[in-house]
Structure 1
Amino acid sequence: MTGRGRRVLVTGASSGIGRATAHRLATEGARLVLVSRSEGVLDEVARECTARGASETLVLPTDVGDHEAVEATFAAAFAAYGGLDGVVHAAGVAAYGRFHDVPPEVFEGVLRTNLVGTANVARAAVRLFEERRGGSLVLLGSVLGKMSTPWMSPYATSKWGVAGLARALQIEARSLPGVEVSLVSPGGVDTPIYDLAATWVGHHGNPPPPVTTPEKVAQACVAALDRARRDKDVGFGNPVMVAGFRLLPGVFDALVTPLMARMGLDGRDTPPTAGNVLEPVPEGEAVRGRWPHVWGQVR
């Protein structure tokens, strides 16, 4: 189902790509289920979506890392709308630091949201779609699900796992009539995730250039709801970085640390912080971050 009245659940809807995706779906007149840990911000997003033309909005505060909470959220969405036509899973957190410096609870917290959360949402979505004999699931991966950098081991580990899970689901979905699974893999995106991230490296992160907009990624997510994609890259630098990682590993390994130090960290001294990994930070949530040097503007 496309267009007006489509029932879509969006996770991570209070910030960044998830919020931009909710906005884009609202302009089509969708009936939206807005999910994140930040209830107050979700209420604000619901008002934004209504103003943009959403047919209906339902706010369901949920920690996607809690499988029982996810199951309850899908049950509430089903009760309200009689089913779902699509799910866009955009919830995600990040942490910076050398692997052995990042506290275990923070490392595990990133995996809990990004990887276990993806599994929880995918499980509930695929079960529902199988029962209803149709539906489209869009998962947010990352260029860091195809390569690695220093100081981002929790995030890279989680996104490599998401990529593997997405491919397994795509293969299994071939035997599920009407069920589609897509992976969207952005590179650097101008969202607040970098300032909200945990850090034990003395600085906050920067999105790696070339930086695109959350609206551009949202466009890809909505397009994948309409037409499934095995893996849609967003960011024209992604293929170059991944090719270097895979084809010239020695050169890549020699260059990536100084490049990361120069362009991947913001240079401002920052004390160790768990950021929003263990608890939400609503005051930092927005569609965009503070990086105006973007390519491929889509609003």
Structure 2
Amino acid sequence: MRSWAGRTVLVTGASSGIGRATALLLASQGADLVLVARSQASLEAVQAECVGAGARARVAVADVGDDQAVAAAFRSAERVFGRVDAVVHSAASLAYGRFEDVPVEVFDAAVRTTLLGTANVARSALSAFARSPEGGSLVVVGSLLGKISTPWMSSYVTAKWGVHGLVRTLQVEARSTPGIHVSLVSPGGVDTPVYLQAGTYLRRHGRPPPPVDPPEKVARAIVRALGRSRREVSVGAANHLAVTGFRVFPGLFDALVTPLMQIGGLSHSATANSAGNVLEPQPAGEALHGRWGRHWMRPAAAAATLAAGAVAARSAHVTWRRSG
């Protein structure tokens, strides 16, 4: 794996989950880091971890939905380290609930962070790379939900579909700017605190659908993409199956996705409705991992296996009918 010693990487969403795991991995490789998120206290905790790993790290408090704050974070990075060689954008927010039950201000804020935040970070990243004779590499964290749809996650699905479209456009345009590379990393279920941090208007928290990967696995894919540009990297054993079901058998997918979400995508304990961290950060809940170890997901995994079998059976039946 490429060493990032002496190179500057700006990481958004660095206070928790995938962003935090990526920052720690880059720190272990000697990168100079600029850590971006909304919470000063959480960022300082990550900064201490990165410095403990032997890296130089600076904190830049910013809401990625604010283009001026994002631009200021990049100026700070260039002022301290001289240039920005790479950017990892993982910041996002979401709220669970039927579309009509999620308050307008919460839906709009979630989309602003996840979609417009990506645009703000990409705009500043491309400008920084253009100022560098060596260009630079941008890796955007997408999602399986940028390719399929599920109930009760309209703000996230809407935003991530937009993120995927934006990144593909940037990739096409980057063909005319040698030295600038744009990659997309699309994980499935990941063991991070985002599910408990999210807003909810279902009186239940979300949880990652199985199979659940650790954030460190996604971080490794991100760092590989930084060193060797890839159009897209999928992280998640069931991602391709889910996308195939959504595209090839939409009727079957629609019939299965709601019960599967009830079994494997929502917690079973009641909670009060709230905006979660959509409107303001919740530093107490920010961490590297969530609570979604593999022990809890056996029933959900069994249901997912049954669903996969149904899709496979449907595919075989269609093939047999066509061949007959």
Q: Same fold (TM over 0.5)?
A: yes
Give per-residue Cα distances to partners, 1:244-280, cap 9 Å, x unaligned. Answer: 0000000000010011011110111111100000000
2-side partners of 1:263 and 1:147: how far apart? Answer: 16
Aligned to 1:265: 266
Q: Does 1:188 align with 2:189?
A: yes
Aligned to 1:119: 119
Q: Shift in Å at residue 2 of structure 1?
A: 4.4
Question: Does the 8 Å CA contact 1:217/1:234 hold for their aligned counterparts?
Answer: yes
Aligned to 1:276: 277
1-side partners of 2:272 and 2:42: how far apart? Answer: 26
Gaps of 5+ in 1: 295-299
| Superposition map of 1:102-117 within 5 A | 102-117=102-117
SS in 1 for 2:273: coil
Q: Which amino acid aligns with 1:98?
A: R
Question: Does the 8 Å CA contact 1:202/1:270 hold for their aligned counterparts?
Answer: yes
Aligned to 1:247: 248
Aligned to 1:94: 94
Q: Shift in Å at residue 287 of structure 1?
A: 0.4
Q: Which amino acid aligns with 2:159?
A: S
Gaps of 5+ in 2: 296-324
Q: Shift in Å at residue 94 of structure 1?
A: 1.5
Aligned to 2:217: 216
Aligned to 2:49: 48
SS in 2 for 1:60: strand
Aligned to 1:84: 84
1-side partners of 2:217 and 2:254: how far apart? Answer: 30
SS in 2 for 1:63: coil
SS in 2 for 1:5: coil
Question: Does the 8 Å CA contact 1:135/1:180 hold for their aligned counterparts?
Answer: yes
SS in 1 for 2:9: strand
Q: TM-score, normalised by structure 2?
A: 0.89
User: Alignment identity in percent?
Assistant: 59
SS in 2 for 1:34: strand
Q: Which amino acid aligns with 1:160?
A: W
2-side partners of 1:156 and 1:275: how far apart? Answer: 18
Question: Does the 8 Å CA contact 2:3/2:30 hold for their aligned counterparts?
Answer: no
2-side partners of 1:94 and 1:270: how far apart? Answer: 16
Q: Shift in Å at residue 3 of structure 1?
A: 2.3
Question: Does the 8 Å CA contact 2:96/2:206 hold for their aligned counterparts?
Answer: yes
SS in 1 for 2:124: helix
SS in 1 for 2:63: coil
1-side partners of 2:276 and 2:198: how far apart? Answer: 5
Give per-residue Cα distances to partners, 1:141-176, cap 9 Å, x unaligned. Answer: 000000000000100000000000000000000111
Q: Say which one has the larger Rg.
A: 2
Q: Which amino acid aligns with 1:86?
A: A
Question: Does the 8 Å CA contact 1:95/1:152 hold for their aligned counterparts?
Answer: yes
Question: Does the 8 Å CA contact 1:130/1:177 hold for their aligned counterparts?
Answer: no
RMSD: 1.0
Q: Which amino acid aligns with 1:215?
A: E
Q: Shift in Å at residue 128 of structure 1?
A: 1.2
Q: How many corresponding residue pairs?
A: 293
SS in 1 for 2:210: coil
Q: Shift in Å at residue 131 of structure 1?
A: 2.2
1-side partners of 2:287 and 2:122: how far apart? Answer: 25
2-side partners of 1:32 and 1:279: how far apart? Answer: 24
| Superposition map of 1:154-233 within 5 A | 154-233=155-234
Aligned to 1:130: 130
2-side partners of 1:4 and 1:93: how far apart? Answer: 31
Give per-residue Cα distances to partners, 1:180-226, cap 9 Å, x unaligned. Answer: 00000000000000000000012000101100010000001111100
Higher helix share: 2
Aligned to 1:297: none
